[in-house]
Amino acid sequence: MPKTWGRAWRGTAYLLLSLATGIATLLALPLLCFPQLTRRWAERHRARAGRLLGAPVPHRPPPTTRRDLPWLPVNALTGLLFGLPALMCVGNMVLATIATPLWWAFTEPNRPRLFIDVPITGWAIALTLGPLQFLLLAALAYLLFPPIARAHARICMAVLTVPDTEHLAERVAELTRTRADVLDAHGAELRRIERDLHDGTQARLVSIAMRLAVARQALHDVPRDDAFVEGLLRDAHEGVEEAMTELREVIRSVYPPILADRGLAGALSAVTTRSNVPTRLDIGELDRVPAAVEAVVYFAVAEALTNVARHSRATKASVRVTRTASRLSVVIADDGTGGADDRRGTGLAGIRRRVLALDGAVDVDSPPGGPTTITLELPCGS
């Protein structure tokens, strides 16, 4: 019995709050047409509906404005339609509890009336019909409000949740677009590596080979010029060291050696330690993470912290990496001035391309004035 009454009161409270949020939605409709505000408002209601239903709230991709905007009038209408009966019920229960025993304090025309429009003119009516009204309204709330509240919550979830078919279609379109971007980026990366190897390392190796050939020929000359041969060998040795340095730079741009040496946690610790903005790192239990995901996370965190130092005027930043089931979540936050936009060439576009290439998701929350929060979601196996 206590659990069922608890559900009744939770349902009543849910409907009353739905009434309040419905009125607020109606009054603030012009302001809520901004995508960021609409998304936050919708996500709060999805979370509240999920708690009432005791069901997990499915993840939604960031671009869901097509569902958020039509939901606003639905929320206002259902909030008023479902919440007004709860308000009337609770109001009359309060009347029966407080006003009825004080009927004598009111003058004759202003004395409270019960829900059956019976004026309270004596203690007999107050002590019989008052408690009867309270019990009837409590029974009404017990029987009707929990299913009404669940109906409202299901409507909210149904309107805001992306159907599997639509979600699949969006993912296919997004993957098609990102795959094309990845192919372009991959081609550009291959051309860069080829150019670095051809113009840098290969040229140095050719120069070294020529010096060694000249030195070899000089060793057979008589008389032998030892100083000349020593100079050639010294230049060849220095050229080999420079070529090895360039090769290491090329390798580091493909897959950072620090990931192989220290793992993702150690690599991120090194990145946050080198950051020009004080950065707190929080890493949960990650288990085994695919190498491709590790590389994307490493480059994304490094690029994001570089942006923080260059553009945000932040005094502190944080990086949080957690894993739940088969997804890796990375949250990069700072207390800077905000306004981050991947269309302005701040490195966010590159982060987005890398993450989307692995069928991940990127959400950038950076209102003008800050703070900025970048959330990455990446699949990492079961």
Ranges of each domain in the chain:
2-162, 168-254, 257-379
Query: How many CB atoms within 10 Å of residue 126?
Result: 21
Q: C-alpha distances in angstroms, 268 versus 260, 261, 283, 299, 330?
A: 12, 12, 9, 10, 11
What gap in Å lies between CA 152 and CA 49, rounded to an integer?
Answer: 8
226-254 and 203-219 are packed helices; what angle lies between their axes, rounded to 10 degrees? 160
Residue 332 host element (H or E): strand 327-334
The CATH class given to the 257-379 domain equals: alpha beta
Residues 6+ apart with CB under 8 A from 199: none
Whose CA is closest to 370, among 298, 320, 282, 308? 308
Residue 168 host element (H or E): helix 164-196
What gap in Å lies between CA 341 and CA 348, rounded to an integer?
Answer: 7
pLDDT (tens, 9 = 90+) of the chain, 382 residues, equals: 456 667 778 888 899 899 998 888 888 777 766 777 788 888 888 889 888 888 777 766 665 567 788 888 888 899 999 999 888 888 777 777 766 666 555 556 655 556 566 666 656 666 666 677 778 878 888 888 899 999 999 998 888 877 766 666 666 776 666 655 655 555 566 566 666 666 666 666 667 667 667 666 666 664 555 666 667 667 766 766 676 666 666 655 555 677 777 888 898 999 999 888 999 999 988 888 888 888 889 889 988 998 898 888 889 999 999 988 788 999 999 998 888 877 665 678 888 888 887 778 888 888 888 899 999 998 886 5
Residues 6+ apart with CB under 8 A from 258: 266, 267, 270, 298
What gap in Å lies between CA 32 and CA 25, rounded to an integer?
Answer: 8
Residues 6+ apart with CB under 8 A from 161: 46, 58, 60
For residue 121, give the 3-state DSSP assignment.
coil
